[in-house]
Amino acid sequence: MNRHLTAASLLAGAALLASMAASVAAGKYTIGISNTVQGNGWREEMICAMKAQALASGEVAKLNIAHRNTDAAGQLEDIRNLISAKVDAIVVNPADPAGIKAGLEEATKAGIVVVAVDQAVTEPSAYIISNNQEQYAYLGAKWLFQQMGGKGEVFYMRGAAGASADSDRDKGFKKALAEFPDVKVAQEVFTGWQQDQAKQQILSFLATGTPINGIWTSGIDNVIVDALVEQQAPMVPVVGADNAGFVGQLSSVKGLVGAAVTNPGSIGGAGVTLALQILDGKKPAQQTVLVNPELWENATDAGKAKLKSVVDPSLSPEWPVSISIPDWTTYTKDQIISCKGPGE
């Protein structure tokens, strides 16, 4: 059974709960964290949200963080190291569900609570709290194809091959594509969710002179707009995520028509909260919690007003502006930006 949340107030709540964050008790739990992508703003916000929520909760004595660029085999090794360290819970952003399933099962058998964030896993004992990745892609792709007039060529810029979030987004993208039979994919690439790689891919494509009518990105967005501007290429509609840089571009770049689909990195903090609830004996009735996305576009007056209300130039351009999730995170903006956990 899935519990669905709206993203309507993703930017609110943290400040109102600052007093709760200040009055913390001595922590008693050790939480393990496993992440396999560094150098990505979304993942960095996720890690900072985990640290901030662990600190704000007052229940965490220590974080044991495995945060590096690796594959499923490397993550499996990291998970087994966390099991050996006898952590109380593991919060994991999975590189590949099948590749780490054995490790998650071993953790559960060792009495460790397992929570997957951002994307699903196949291990049935694990809990999942994730942004709704299929709906993320569907919303953005449908809007893009409508802006293209229901026809033409789209440059399809995916995430990381093998990641379940990418697979779910591909389902959503193709669901929308099926509704617009006159829209064709000009080229499909995997960005690895890396800024430099994605920018080089769009530059290489533009150099071919192949005409396109729209660009769908899996959240590596502001560098794509930068490339269009630098190359003086046609400013076709672009879909990205709610990253601070792209949200700002939607209000400032002349001729840009685009939409940001919410995908908060603060889901990492929500994962810590869920793990603590389970450790405290408050197991949720459902195994999976999904946060549903919103689409913020600049093609209408209402959309422009929404974008104006959420733009935040104080954040890193690669960080989502949705830095908190109501009912799931209690840290302040200062705490997530400082990126310090218990004992730091």
Low-confidence winner among 22-26, 165-169, 177-181, 275-279 (lowest mean pLDDT): 22-26
**Tokens representing residue 232 in the block:** 């003086």
Comparing C-alpha atoms, which of 32, 16, 118 is closest to residue 341? Answer: 32
d(CA 64, CA 269): 15
Q: Residues spanned by CATH 3.40.50.2300 within the chain?
A: 2-130+264-291+322-338, 133-261
* Rg of the chain taking only CA atoms, in angstroms: 20
Using the Cα atoms of residue 303, residue 244, residue 189 and residue 119 in order, give the sign of their dihedral: negative
Residues 94-124 have pLDDT tens digits of 999 999 999 999 999 999 999 999 999 999 9
**Tokens representing residue 151 in the block:** 């026809």
- The CATH number of 133-261 is 3.40.50.2300
pTM for the complete prediction? Answer: 0.86
* Helices first, then strands: H and E counts in the chain: 12, 13
Q: What are the CA-CA distances from residue 204 to residues 201, 208, 263 (Å)?
A: 5, 7, 27
Using the Cα atoms of residue 308, residue 42, residue 191 and residue 290 in order, give the sign of their dihedral: negative
Query: For the range 160-163, what are the long-range contacts, defined as Cβ-Cβ under 8 Å and sequence gap of 24 or more?
Result: 160/37, 160/190, 160/191, 160/192, 160/193, 161/190, 161/192, 162/72, 162/95, 162/96, 162/99, 163/94, 163/95, 163/96, 163/119
d(CA 344, CA 334): 15
Model pLDDT, residue 324? 96
Model pLDDT, residue 344? 92
**Which amino acid does the sequence have at 206?**
L
Residues 41-83 have pLDDT tens digits of 999 999 999 999 999 999 999 999 999 999 999 999 999 999 9
Q: How far apart are the first and last CA of the chain?
A: 38
- Quote the distance between the C-alpha of residue 53 and its chain's center: 17
Q: What are the CA-CA distances from residue 54 to residues 27, 129, 138, 329, 344 (Å)?
A: 9, 16, 33, 10, 11
How many CB atoms within 10 Å of residue 31? 32
Question: 């050790």: which residue's tokens?
Answer: 30
**Strand bridging mode 152-158 / 238-241:** unpaired
- The CATH number of 2-130+264-291+322-338 is 3.40.50.2300
d(CA 342, CA 65): 12
Classified as helix, coil or strand, 251 is helix
**What average pLDDT does this structure show over 232-250?**
98
Residues 127-142 have pLDDT tens digits of 999 999 999 999 999 9
Model confidence band, residue 39 (pLDDT cutoffs 50, 70, 90): confident
Q: What are the CA-CA distances from residue 341 to residues 14, 47, 50, 130 (Å)?
A: 17, 10, 8, 22
